[in-house]
Amino acid sequence: MANRFILNETSYHGAGAINEIATEIKAHGFKKAFVASDPDLVKFGVTGKVTDILDKENIPWELYSNIKPNPTIENVQTGVAAFKASGADGHCNHRGPGKCGLCDGQLFCNSGTPGYV
């Protein structure tokens, strides 16, 4: 049996990729970003690089950092609930290696929400 795996519409990788966040959010017409990030990336100021760009571009955002490695179904459901409660219409996935941000993003994308960046 074949398995089909679909990723988000647009991904940026490499030097300068972070600078495309606001461009993509605006291109998709999103009004508020839900920033999902690892707690350590928040602690060490890495996530701030994303939120600083959103602030500079006057894009409202909400942070969710309760992302855990090897998440349980409950962890992911909590993230989905936080996204829905935030009123955001776009999802910025910012995570470190081995974190569950992609799992959250795929669930957000497949749960009837408009999309994520």
For the segment 57-87, what is each residue's pLDDT rounded down to a tens digit? 999 999 998 887 777 788 888 888 998 899 9
What angle (nearest 5°) sits at the alpha carbon of residue 32, between those of residues 83 and 63?
A: 50
DSSP state of 18: G
By C-alpha distance, which of 102, 32, 91 is closest to 67?
A: 102
For the segment 24-58, what is each residue's pLDDT rounded down to a tens digit? 888 888 899 888 888 888 899 888 988 999 999 99
Tell me the pTM.
Answer: 0.72
